[in-house]
Amino acid sequence: MKLKEMRNIRYPFSKSLVIFSIILVVFSTYFAIVMLKNEKSISISVGATTVFIHPLVLYFAATLLITYISVLIKTRLYAPAKTEIVDKTSESIEEVIKSFKRLLTLTYVLIIAIIIVVPLLAIWGPGLPWFIGVTSFTSGINLSEVIIYTFSKRT
Residues in the chain with pLDDT values less than 50 = 82-83, 85-86
pLDDT value at residue 24 = 93
What whole-number distance in Å separates Cα of residue 107 and Cα of residue 56?
A: 29
- The conformational region for residue 110 under phi > 0 = left, psi -120 to 50 = alpha, else beta, is alpha
Cα separations in angstroms, 38 against 44, 53, 118, 137, 138: 19, 13, 24, 21, 21
pLDDT value at residue 26 = 95
- Is the pTM higher than 0.85? The answer reads no
What whole-number distance in Å separates Cα of residue 78 and Cα of residue 57?
A: 31
103-107 long-range contacts, CB within 8 A, separation 24+: 103/77, 104/12, 104/13, 104/77, 104/78, 107/77
CA 109 to chain centre: 13
pLDDT value at residue 130 = 79
Q: How many helices (H) and strands (E) does the chain have?
A: 6, 4
Cα separations in angstroms, 76 against 56, 73, 133: 30, 5, 24
pLDDT value at residue 143 = 95
pLDDT value at residue 29 = 94
Rounded to 5 degrees, φ, ψ at 138 are -65, -45
